[in-house]
Every structure is written in C-alpha cells, then in structure tokens.
Amino acid sequence: ETGVTQTPRHLVMGMTNKKSLKCEQHLGHNAMYWYKQSAKKPLELMFVYNFKEQTENNSVPSRFSPECPNSSHLFLHLHTLQPEDSALYLCASSQSGHYNEQFFGPGTRLTVL
Amino acid sequence: GNSVTQMEGPVTLSEEAFLTINCTYTATGYPSLFWYVQYPGEGLQLLLKATKADDKGSNKGFEATYRKETTSFHLEKGSVQVSDSAVYFCALPSTLTGNQFYFGTGTSLTVIP
C-alpha cells in the first residue's frame, strides 16, 4: 500500500461513453499527477496539479478532462475516447517542490472498444 | 531538456545471478536520480534514489551510484531472487519545474528458479 488509491481498477468503455477515473491520496501531499502508461512507450505525464491548481498540461487531447476538487482527490473525466487511448492510467502524489519522491497508485487499466 | 536512456529489455536471469540495468541521463544542473520498480498488477514504487554526484542509493540489495563523469546511474544487484521479477524504471526530475519527472522506457526483469 502506497497511500494512493485508484478506482476503478479496470474499465471497459465504448467510444461514445463518458466515464471518470478517481484517485485519492492519504499522505497529506499537495501535488497530484496523472500519467499514461502504454506498452513499449515511456511513461507519459498528462497533468500536474499543485495546491489544486493545474500547472502542467502536456498537450493532452481535450477528450481527457482532469478535475482536482481538493488536494486529496483527483479525477480524470473521459469522453469520446479512441481505441489508442487504451492504457494503464496511473495517479501519483508528492509534496510540491523540487525532486520529491512521487507515490503511485495501482492504476486503472482502461480498454476502449 | 532532461532525459533518461535506459537499457532495453526484457532481461531473463537465473536466481542468484548478478544484475545490471544501465541508465544514462542528460540534465541541466544536478537533479536527484531515482530508480522505481513496478511489480505485476501494481503501480510504480520508489526503489532507491541519490541526491548528488557520487552518492550511492541502496535498498533491498539493489544499488546505484550517481556518476557525473559518465552521466550514469546503473542499477545493480549481486544476487537476484524470483521475487525481483518486475519492471524497473530510471527517472529524473526536471530541473526547471522540479516535480515533473522523466521516466525511462522500463526494463522488464524475469528471474527463473
């Protein structure tokens, strides 16, 4: 247990569906992240939130919409996804600031049909 | 910008064999360096880190030394076990934003009895 939980662990959705991924951290951190992990590719940072404010958006398509209502919760809202969006989506948290270790959740395995 | 280049896998070793996974980096400044491990079905977790040149990080029998002259941070273990089977990621943070990490592509290790 890393102190970061993600739900659901597995999700299958059609291209017209709308779904949301949830992340919660119990570590008292003030920075949270979404990553995409695809086979044979480096881990891709999608979004960064510091103190509930989005500070990074690495050219992520608008069909992915993050939400950070407080420093403990992070959501990723999904709509009209494509099959190539199928991947493992990892949430992480850390203390804000330089070079602090990131703690990862177990991920949500997403399959888009 | 900062980046890491990691040895391609997969790597298959017999139990008690010596392990080396190569990692080289490009960075402005002197960021901390990290190795993360991902066990099957789980998220990434920190294995070890080094915060400055010539530092050696160690954990669970794994070691890595921050070598500025060769810009390397190779992971080593003298005697691997079946339970070490996992994917290993080298990582370094951005020296500009600090909490944005760059991960290698990951090296899959399988240890056979």
More reliable by pLDDT, B34 or A42: B34
Report which residue type is found at B12: T
Q: Give the chain A residue nearest B51 (alpha carbons).
A: A99
Average model confidence (pLDDT) across chain B: 92
pLDDT for position B98 = 64
Q: Does B9 touch chain A (CB under 8 A)?
A: no
Distance separating alpha carbons of residues B49 and B47, to the nearest angstrom: 7
Q: Kindly indicate the confidence band of residue A41, based on its pLDDT and cuts at 50, 70 and 90.
A: confident
More reliable by pLDDT, B72 or A101: B72
Distance separating alpha carbons of residues A21 and A1, to the nearest angstrom: 19
Q: Kindly indicate the confidence band of residue B28, based on its pLDDT and cuts at 50, 70 and 90.
A: confident
More reliable by pLDDT, B96 or A109: A109
pLDDT for position B29 = 81
Q: Give the chain B residue nearest A103 (alpha carbons).
A: B45
Q: Which of A98, A103, A108, A109 to mutate to test the interface with B (most CBs of B within 10 A)?
A: A98
**Nearest 5°: phi and psi at B98?**
75, -55
Three-class SS state of A110: strand
Distance separating alpha carbons of residues A112 and A85, to the nearest angstrom: 7
Nearest to A100 among B89, B99, B104 (CB): B99
Distance separating alpha carbons of residues A94 and B111, to the nearest angstrom: 31
Radius of gyration of chain B (CA): 14
Strands across the sheet containing A64-70: A4-7, A18-25, A73-79, A64-70
**Nearest 5°: phi and psi at A71?**
-75, -5
Distance separating alpha carbons of residues A50 and A107, to the nearest angstrom: 20
pLDDT tens string A49-79? 988 788 877 789 999 999 999 999 999 999 9
Counting runs of H as helices and runs of E as strands, what totals does chain B give? 0, 12
State yes or no: pLDDT of A45 exceeds 80. yes
- CA dihedral B64→B70→B71→B74, nearest 10 degrees, is -30
Cβ neighbours of A99 in B, within 8 Å = 31-32, 51, 93, 98-99
